[in-house]
């Protein structure tokens, strides 16, 4: 398979990978930055850590590349509008116009009513192709009470709030 076909097939395959929607936030001490992302995953429990993948063209990439700490805000279904706001043409502080935004003791913005807000100290980075992978060592977590995950699948938002039937229940 040639490179162009492989890229097109990969994009189609990734549309089938349901992912929780997050907003990654950071600050350079003067400005706050936010972007919607699905390229987030747990890395290790010892030490508690996760990783985020950020396109080098994203406005917050330079801040993260300089070593800034960050927060991964896991969104609920009712926060779809915030995801759109943080992935569209609006940039910078304008992305914080809506939502219950709070600030950590270190000045990192986080969403007070996110399903979970995971505050991380940056603990490594790796550049690969068009993206950088940033490792976050978890410092603090704010978990909300409700679970209604905002999920991105095949170019659309959905949720998986209702558990899928088990094989025993389906049979």
pLDDT at 166: 64
pLDDT of residue 165: 64
* C-alpha to C-alpha distance for 164 and 137, rounded to whole angstroms: 32
**From CA 34, how far away is CA 105, in angstroms rounded?**
18
Whole-Å CA distances, 58 to 4, 8, 88, 132, 150 = 24, 22, 11, 10, 22
Which of the four pLDDT bands, split at 50, 70 and 90, describes residue 22?
Answer: very high
Q: What whole-number percentage of the chain has pLDDT above 70? A: 94
Are 98 and 88 contacting, i.e. CB atoms less than 8 angstroms apart?
A: no
- Structural domains present in the chain: 3-159 (2.30.110.10)
How much is the pLDDT for 164? 58
- Sequence-ordered alpha helix ranges (H) in the chain: 3-15, 61-65, 80-85, 167-170
pTM for this one?
0.90
Q: Is the peptide bond before 53 cis (omega within 30 degrees of 0)?
A: no
DSSP 8-state class, residue 104: -
Residues 106-133, mean pLDDT to the nearest whole number: 97
Report whether pLDDT(163) > 80. Answer: no
């Amino acid at each position: 398979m040639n490179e162009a076909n492989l890229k097109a097939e990969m994009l189609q395959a990734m549309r089938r990978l349901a992912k929780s929607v997050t907003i990654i936030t950071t600050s350079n001490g003067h400005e706050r930055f936010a972007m919607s992302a699905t390229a987030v995953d747990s890395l290790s429990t010892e030490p508690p850590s996760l990783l985020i993948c950020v396109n080098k063209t994203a406005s917050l990439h330079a801040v993260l590349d300089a070593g800034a700490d960050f927060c991964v805000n896991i969104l609920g279904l009712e926060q779809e509008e915030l995801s759109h706001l943080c992935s569209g043409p609006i940039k910078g502080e304008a992305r914080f116009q809506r939502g219950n935004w709070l600030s950590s003791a270190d000045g990192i913005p986080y969403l007070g009513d996110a399903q979970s807000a995971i505050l991380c100290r940056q603990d490594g980075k790796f550049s690969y192709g068009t993206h950088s992978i940033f490792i976050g060592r978890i410092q603090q977590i704010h978990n909300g009470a409700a679970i209604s995950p905002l999920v991105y699948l095949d170019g659309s938002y959905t949720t998986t709030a209702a558990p899928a039937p088990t094989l025993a229940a389906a049979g």
